[in-house]
Structure formats: structure tokens, C-alpha cells
């Protein structure tokens, strides 16, 4: 199965309060999107990558990704430098949409025709270990149509509406990325979502939920605490600590 990743990096990251879009914000001196790409490629199971980028920062993201995996930007690597090494993984950038869901759709449209297994991963989950990616791919290869990495919920959880109702956290899991799909299933889920599109605020925050809406069963595999999403300054500080090798 040919495995492609749609790596979403087109968000503004306004909650981080940084002048740069989140994907370009550095942790340990390296942009988050580059951390994410390096770890995806370290899994050894990825054949091509399409990165969704903010239009006005496209060349900056391309610069940040140059040389990753021995061949970022190069669909066909003929350089002498790469001769004898593992084949370069082609990495291409496409301009994302107004929502994450629209960005993923733009990435899906840019994949090679022979891709049959698609991972969707958030650049914001920059430190996701390659082992998580490998687990997700293995589960899709084993026959699952949609796979999500999950971690237990450690806080007590309540539903707040008219009143406050405790929810049994033993049955809850937090969902991470990369999420993995049979390509035809994910294409169909996005097409169906476009068909019922309302306002932008109703766009899905992940891809498995679009599959659930189609009645597709979702398989879970173990995620990892390091796959947390960098959203706030505190998350960025945690990423810096982890990269410095000091776990709080």
C-alpha cells in the first residue's frame, strides 16, 4: 500500500500569541512543522507528504522543510548526494483553506493517484513519535478503514448545559493524530461533509468524526503523551523542555 500524509499546517495559531503562523514557530530552534515532518519520516512507513500551508507563508514553510528525509520538494530525486541512500520521500506544499477540514480536502486533492492509505496529521502535534505513525499504518494495513491514536483522560469530566452532569472518564479517550484511513473512505467522508456543509463553524476538527458520520467503524490504537497539540504558550514551553531532554 502506498502511504501518504496530509500534514496540516495552514492554521494561524492565534491562541499561541506569536507573530508567525504556528507551524513556523520554533521549538528548540526548529519550526514546529519541521519537527512534525521529521518524526513522520522517522517512522519509515511514509511514501509521500503533502503539507497544507498559509498562502502568504508558503515559501517560508518550504524553506523550513527543505532537505527533510533526503528530498523535500523533490518529486524525483536524481541528485548524486542521494544516490545509494533510501529513496527520497517527496514533500509538496499546497495552500490550505479557511478551516482545517478545508485544508485537509485541499491536501487530499493533491495526492498521487496511486496512494491507497492516507494519514492526516497536525503539524501542531509536532513531537508525535514515529512509533505512533507506524502503529496507525499497521492497523490500516490489517484491514481497518479508519484508525485513531487515543490516550486516557486523566481529569474528572462533566457535561455542562442546564446543569452539571458527571461523565464516567473510564470510557473517555482523547483523540490525537496522525489518523489513518483507507483513501476511498476518507475521500467519501470529505465529499459527504461538503454535501452537508453549513457555516464554517460546523467544520469538523478531525477526520475520524467525518467517517463516523458515514457509519464507518473507527479503530483505536495507543497514542502517546508527546503527541499533545501545541496550542498555548504553556504547550510550547513543554515542547521546549521535552526537546531539551528534561521532562517536568
Binding site for ligand C5P (CB under 6 A): 8-11, 22-23, 52, 96-100, 103, 122-124, 205, 229, 231
- Residue showing the smallest CB distance to ligand C5P in the complex: 11
Q: How far is the CB of 44 from ligand C5P (least distance, A)?
A: 23
- Which of residues 82 and 150 has its CB atom nearest to ligand C5P in the complex? 150
Q: How far is the CB of 174 from ligand C5P (least distance, A)?
A: 13
Q: Round to whole Å and give the CA distance between 71 and 81.
A: 10
- Which of residues 86 and 98 has its CB atom nearest to ligand C5P in the complex? 98
Please report the beta strands in the chain, taking only residues with DSSP state E, as ranges in sequence order: 3-8, 26-27, 30-31, 48-53, 91-95, 117-122, 146-152, 157-160, 164-167, 173-175, 179-182, 219-222
Q: How far is the CB of 13 from ligand C5P (least distance, A)?
A: 7
Q: Which helix (H) or strand (E) holds 188?
A: helix 183-195
Q: How far is the CB of 94 from ligand C5P (least distance, A)?
A: 10
Residue 226, all three cell numbers? 508527546
- Which of residues 43 and 52 has its CB atom nearest to ligand C5P in the complex? 52
- Which of residues 88 and 189 has its CB atom nearest to ligand C5P in the complex? 189
- Which of residues 92 and 100 has its CB atom nearest to ligand C5P in the complex? 100
Q: How far is the CB of 233 from ligand C5P (least distance, A)?
A: 14
- Which of residues 88 and 136 has its CB atom nearest to ligand C5P in the complex? 136
Quick check: bond before 96 cis, omega within 30?
no
Angle made by CA atoms 59, 61, 63, in degrees to the nearest 5: 70
Cell 519509515 sits at which residue? 44
Please answer whether residues 121 and 207 qualify as being in contact, where contact means their C-beta atoms are separated by less than 8 angstroms: no
Could you tell me which residues are beta bridge partners of residue 50?
A: 6, 92
- Which of residues 98 and 172 has its CB atom nearest to ligand C5P in the complex? 98
Q: How far is the CB of 105 from ligand C5P (least distance, A)?
A: 10
How does DSSP assign 33-57, residue by residue?
A: HHHHHHHHHHTS---EEEEEE-GGG
Cα–Cα distances (Å) from 128 to 16, 39, 92, 131, in that order, read 19, 7, 20, 8
Cell 496512494 sits at which residue? 115
> Max Cα separation, the chain?
67
Q: How far is the CB of 143 from ligand C5P (least distance, A)?
A: 28
Amino acid at each position: 500500500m502506498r502511504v501518504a500524509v496530509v500534514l496540516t499546517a495552514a492554521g494561524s495559531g492565534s491562541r499561541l500569541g506569536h507573530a508567525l503562523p504556528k507551524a513556523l514557530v520554533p521549538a528548540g530552534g526548529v519550526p514546529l512543522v519541521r519537527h512534525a515532518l521529521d518524526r513522520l519520516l522517522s517512522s519509515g512507513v511514509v511514501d509521500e507528504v503533502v503539507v497544507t500551508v498559509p498562502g502568504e507563508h508558503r515559501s517560508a514553510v518550504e524553506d523550513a522543510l527543505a532537505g527533510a528525509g533526503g528530498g523535500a520538494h523533490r518529486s524525483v530525486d536524481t541528485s548524486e548526494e542521494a544516490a545509494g541512500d533510501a529513496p527520497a520521500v517527496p514533500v509538496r506544499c499546497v495552500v490550505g483553506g479557511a478551516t482545517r477540514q478545508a485544508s485537509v480536502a485541499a491536501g487530499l486533492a493533491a495526492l498521487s493517484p496511486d496512494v491507497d492509505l492516507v494519514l492526516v496529521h497536525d503539524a501542531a502535534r509536532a513531537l508525535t513519535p514515529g512509533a505512533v505513525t507506524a502503529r496507525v499504518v499497521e492497523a490500516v494495513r490489517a484491514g481497518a478503514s479508519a484508525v485513531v491514536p487515543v490516550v486516557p483522560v486523566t481529569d474528572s469530566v462533566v457535561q455542562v448545559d442546564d446543569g452539571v452532569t458527571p461523565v464516567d472518564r473510564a470510557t473517555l479517550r482523547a483523540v490525537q493524530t496522525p489518523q489513518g484511513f483507507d483513501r476511498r473512505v476518507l475521500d467519501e467522508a470529505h465529499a459527504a461533509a461538503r454535501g452537508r456543509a453549513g457555516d464554517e463553524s460546523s467544520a469538523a476538527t478531525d477526520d475520524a468524526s467525518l467517517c463516523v458520520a458515514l457509519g464507518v467503524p473507527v479503530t483505536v490504537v495507543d497514542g502517546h503523551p508527546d503527541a499533545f497539540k501545541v496550542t498555548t504558550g504553556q504547550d510550547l514551553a513543554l515542547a521546549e523542555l521535552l526537546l531539551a531532554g528534561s521532562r517536568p
